[in-house]
Amino acid sequence: MTALEAHGLWKYYGDFAALQQVSFEFAAGSCIALLGRNGAGKTTLLRILAGLSQTSEGQVRILGGNPRQPAIRARIGIIGHGIGVYDELSAEENLLTFARLYAIDHPAKAVDHWLERTDLDRVRRGLAREFSRGMRQRLAIARAFIHNPNFLILDEPFTSLDDRAIALLQGLLKDALAQGATVVLSTHQLKEALELASHVLLLNRGKLAFTGTRTADMLVDPGWVYRHYGEPTASASPANGESTAA
Amino acid sequence: MNYLRQVAAIAGKDLRSELRTKEALNASLSFAVVILLLFSFVVDPDSEMLEQMSGGLLWMVFAFSGTLILNRGFAREIPNDCLDALIASPIPGSALFLGKAIANFALIAIIEAICFPVFGILYNLNWTQQLPVLLGVSALATWSMATLGTMFGALTVNMQLRELMLPMLIYPMLIPALMAAMQLTTLLIAGQPIDAEHAIWLRVLIAFDIIFTSLAAVLVETVLVG
């Protein structure tokens, strides 16, 4: 079953075409590493997939429907650039708010489960603004997973995460994939992304440069896909394609 | 049922956040009380003019101080990209709008509940003679401000000069509702019931609320997502 399809996507900001004639299809259960340099159009594409932005031309279907349909949105989990939690609310209040927005059957139970899973149950009544950066990130992860989504959209999810949050997120993504979820993951940290990915989608200046299965070559040499399909001048620099994860 | 829970979740979240920080509430209340105080030095409490302008004065105060609250409605969603998390959730645009409008309504109502007695003391007026009707008229006019402010708050949320743009957009649109509220409040504070001649203003307020609530509920998703 096709979980994600895009046909002839264009997105303009004024005269600037951020996406140009982008088309692809991925089956359910795929983990797609969305790669590309800064300004390639990754975030624009992810915002369209998440239903946060409209296309100028073309069509996107997620799990067989328009991403703006509430029934489809209820099955999508998102981690974007911001953590998407309210500083003035406690961890518990934040999760309870989103559990109610996603119309979860037993919101309090789900909140307890995710506070425990993200190791925030001891500080459940603490305000998010008083949390450390790592705790806030774990709260954001709990917020994105609280409704057990079967389609995940993650924009630079590993950036500025501490090792504990990276391990938590990787574990959750592996669990979600094992249960048949589809994951779209944009990142500059190629090593982490390619280890999880079953497919790769490379954007270059708004155009689709490569789409296909993640191969063993890419795992051995994470910069391989950039050198073969990316911008010729930039790909000459080894640093451009290498993982930045330390 | 889920729809109502979603509306309540949005309203509850906004009210809890605001009552915890009191950011907009304190600014709005201080502003309203200062204007009432300053005007009390200008107007003679025993004059006939005071009776004639009481409604106008009160609703100008509520309109100006209310904007400070309305500005925070969607601006509260900007830190941490909370607006994206909200738009990405399966909540219908109309539920998001209603939740925010209810929270704005409640916060402006708090300001009004404090300002009416302050007005009565400073201007030596017995404003409670037609209290139930006055409360009804205030509720209708406050809902007008809340709906229009919430709708235009969604429109201006991504603008850099949103604090300036919001009042510039809503005041002209709000004129019919404000005029109706001023006429009726003046009448009710003077202790007179709403007669046939003034009933038209009540109908204006009701029609305004119905039209703008419906329009905003339908349009808010387009405004937020495009």
Q: What is the pLDDT of residue A232?
A: 53
Q: What is the pLDDT of residue B224?
A: 86
Give the pLDDT mean for B15-24.
94
pLDDT above 90 for B52: no
The 3-state DSSP class for residue A62 equals strand
What DSSP string describes A182-243?
EEEEE-S-HHHHHHH-SEEEEEETTEEEEEEEPPHHHHH-TTHHHHHHS-HHHHTSHHHHS-
Q: What is the pLDDT of residue A244?
A: 32
Q: What is the pLDDT of residue B88?
A: 93
Q: Are residues B32 and B111 in contact, defined by beta-carbon separation less than 8 angstroms? A: yes
Q: What are the chain B neighbours of A52 within 8 Å (beta carbons)?
A: 84, 87-88, 225
Ordered by start, the domain boundaries in chain A are 86-148
Q: What is the pLDDT of residue A159?
A: 80
Q: What is the pLDDT of residue A240?
A: 40
| Inter-chain contacts counted by CB atoms under 8 A, chains A and B | 87
Name which of A52, A76, A125 to mutate to probe chain B: the one with the most chain B Cβ atoms within 10 A of its Cβ: A52
Q: Write out pLDDT tens, residues B79-134.
A: 999 999 999 999 999 999 999 999 999 999 999 999 999 999 999 888 999 999 99
Q: Could you say which of A89, A100, A143 has the minimum Cβ distance to residue B16?
A: A89
Q: What are the chain A neighbours of B87 within 8 Å (beta carbons)?
A: 51-52
Contact A81 B81 (CB under 8 A): yes
For chain B, the average pLDDT equals: 93
**A213: distance to nearest CA of chain B, Å?**
28
Q: What is the pLDDT of residue A75?
A: 95
Q: What is the pLDDT of residue B67?
A: 95
Give the pLDDT mean for B47-64.
89
Please name the residue of chain A whose CA is at the shortest distance from the CA of residue B91.
A101
Residues of B in CB contact (< 8 Å) with A are: 2, 5-6, 8-10, 12-13, 16-17, 20-21, 76, 79-82, 84-92, 221, 225-226
Q: Write out pLDDT tens, residues B191-213.
A: 999 999 999 999 999 999 999 99
Mean pLDDT by 10 residues, chain A (246 residues): 92 93 94 91 94 93 92 93 93 96 94 95 95 91 94 88 84 93 89 87 92 86 76 45 34
Name which of A97, A105, A147 to mutate to probe chain B: the one with the most chain B Cβ atoms within 10 A of its Cβ: A97
Q: What are the chain A neighbours of B81 within 8 Å (beta carbons)?
A: 80-84
ipTM of this model?
0.88
Q: What is the pLDDT of residue B47?
A: 74
Q: What is the pLDDT of residue A236?
A: 40
CA trace torsion A26, A31, A32, A33 (10° rounding): -170
Residues 6+ apart with CB under 8 A from B104: B14, B69, B70, B73, B145, B146, B149, B150
Contact B6 A81 (CB under 8 A): no
Contact B82 A84 (CB under 8 A): yes
Q: Indicate the helix (H) or strand (E) that contains A16.
A: strand A16-27
Rounded Cα gap, residues B96 and B3, in angstroms: 10
Q: What is the pLDDT of residue A234?
A: 44
